[in-house]
Chains A and B, each alone.
Chain A
Amino acid sequence: MTLNLSVLTPNRIVWDSEVKEIILSTNSGKISVLPNHAPIATAVDIGILRIRLNDQWLTIALIGGFARIGNNEITILINDTEKGSDIDPQEAQQALEIAEANLRKAEGKRQKIEAKLALRRARTRVEAINAIS
Chain B
Amino acid sequence: MAMAALRREGRRLAPLISPRTITAVRSSPLYPTLEDEGPLGVRHISTQVVRNRMKSVKNIQKITKAMKMVAASKLRAIQTKTENSRGLWQPFTALLGDLPSADVKKNVVVTISSDKGLCGGINSTSVKISKGLHKLNSGPEKETKYVILGEKAKAQLVRDSKKDIELIITELQKNPLNYTQVSVLADEILKNVEYDALRIVFNKFQSVVSFVPTVSTVLSTEIVEREAESGGKLVDLDSYEVEGGETKGEILQNLAEFQFSCTMFNAVLENACSEQGARMSAMDSSSRNAGDMLDRLTLTYNRTRQASITTELIEIISGASALEG
Binding site for B on A (CB under 8 A): 6, 8-13, 26-28, 31, 38-45, 65-66, 68, 70, 75, 77, 79
Contacts and interface: CB of A to CB of B under 8 A. Distances in A.
A79 B255 CA distance: 12
Contact of A39 (B81, B178, B239): B239
Interface residues of B, number: 25
Give the interface SS of chain A, mostly helix, strand, loop or mixed: strand
B265 A10 contact: yes
A13 B80 CA distance: 12
B242 A13 contact: no
Q: Is the interface of B mostly helix, strand, loop or mixed?
A: helix
Contacts of B265: 10
Nearest to A43: B244
B241 A43 contact: no
Nearest to B80: A12
B81 A68 contact: no
Interface string B230-266: 0000000101111111000001001100100010010
A65 B95 CA distance: 15
A76 to B, nearest CB: 9
Contact of B240 (A8, A10, A26, A41): A41
A65 B258 contact: yes
A28 B262 contact: no
A10 B245 contact: no
A43 B251 contact: yes
A44 B245 CA distance: 10
B251 to A, nearest CB: 5
A12 B84 contact: yes
The 7 closest A-B pairs by CB, nearest first: A10-B179, A27-B244, A42-B244, A26-B244, A43-B244, A42-B243, A41-B240
Contacts of A31: 243
18 contacts: A6-B87, A8-B91, A11-B179, A13-B84, A26-B244, A38-B241, A39-B240, A40-B240, A40-B242, A40-B243, A41-B237, A41-B255, A42-B244, A43-B251, A66-B258, A68-B240, A70-B240, A77-B262
Contacts of A38: 241
B254 A43 contact: yes
A77 B92 CA distance: 9
B142 to A, nearest CB: 30
A77 B244 contact: no
Contacts of B88: 8-10, 77
Contacts of A79: 179, 183
